[in-house]
Amino acid sequence: VPLLLVLALLRRSALALVALLLPVAVWGNLFGGLVLADEDSGPHDIVAVQHNVSDENRDPDGTASDLIEAAPDVIALEELTPSALSAYESALAADYPHHAVEGTVGLWSKFPLSDVRPVDIKPEGIPEGWNRGLRTTARTPQGDIAVYVAHLPSVRIRWNGLSSGWRDESAGLLGEALAAEKLAKVILLGDLNSTVDDRGLDPVTERMDSAGRNFAFSWPATFPVSRIDHVMTRSMVVTDIRTLPATGSDHLPIAAGIRFEP
């Protein structure tokens, strides 16, 4: 919508400007605050990085080095392949001595991890062996935090249009796991394959506070138009969120500051 408005102004087209009045008003109401928001929302206690590293990434060592430069306390990765996993483990070991991997998702942490277990978010119809969810407890100086890493199925293009059935079912299962979580403080890191405005993610977003007061578009890396990678919290505050420089993935990494509630 903003691009169309710029084109209409450049062409000095009265008809185009009139046609855009309603869309621009709606867009401004929904997203104008994000454009004007101050990115610095106060101090944070920890930094979390979320990144879908892509199963076609040819430079896992370089990707790991790029993520370390952001100095996060925890790093969540998705689309880990067996061949690339050892490279990430080796490259991240010195700075992040604690890590947990379940299927194709993993978490690297400066804090000790315990109670690592898979989270079943597999929709019906997907073959066995598909594992894209994990849960662990991070033992921080401020107390224990439940950390979830998840990679929901993507929206599919079918002969009759877009299909989000698997993604929505997986979001429902993730929402149930979050609802059952006994620890008060929770962090969710993951590629949820949609923005927080998508009602299909309601089972998750109703239980977690979504991150960020700006766009921080993460996908696709070559020309980002949406943030489908997320950092969400419960009983904690996300103070800011930003994208990091491109890696060998088709997603941009995102980094978020998180503050503990008093």
pLDDT digits (tens, 9 = 90+) for 98-121: 999 999 999 999 999 999 999 999
Region 212-234 average pLDDT: 89
Q: Give pLDDT, residue 42.
A: 74
Mean pLDDT of 87-96: 98
Binned at pLDDT 50, 70 and 90, residue 41 comes out as: low
How many CB atoms neighbour CB 65 within 10 A? 13
Structure tokens at 172: 């429902």
One-letter amino acid at 35 equals V
**pLDDT at 9 (0 to 100):** 87
> What pLDDT sits at residue 75?
98
For 74, 147, 195, 211, the CA distances from 231, given in Å and listed in that order, are: 11, 11, 12, 6
> Listing from the earlier edge strand, what are the strands of the sheet with 143-151?
113-118, 133-140, 143-151, 186-191, 229-234
Q: How far is CA 229 from CA 20, 66, 114, 134, 221, in A?
A: 30, 17, 25, 16, 12
Give tens-digit pLDDT for 187-203.
Answer: 999 999 999 989 999 99
Asked if 121 and 177 count as a contact pair (C-beta separation under 8 A), the reply is yes
Q: How confident is the model at residue 227 (pLDDT cuts 50, 70, 90)?
A: very high
Q: In which band, very low, low, confident or very high, does the pLDDT at 211 lie, cut at 50, 70 and 90?
A: low
pLDDT of residue 49: 98
Question: Which superfamily is assigned to 46-260 in CATH?
Answer: Endonuclease/exonuclease/phosphatase (3.60.10.10)
pLDDT at 64 over 90: yes
Give the best-scoring range by mean pLDDT among 14-23, 74-83, 159-168: 74-83
pLDDT at 213 > cutoff 80: no
Cα torsion through 190, 121, 89, 260, rounded to 10: 50
Q: How confident is the model at residue 37 (pLDDT cuts 50, 70, 90)?
A: low
| Statement: residue 61 has pLDDT above 70 | yes
Q: Could you tell me the residue ranges of all domains in the chain? A: 2-36, 46-260
pLDDT at 159 over 70: no
When the pLDDT of each residue in the chain is averaged and rounded to a whole number, the result is 91
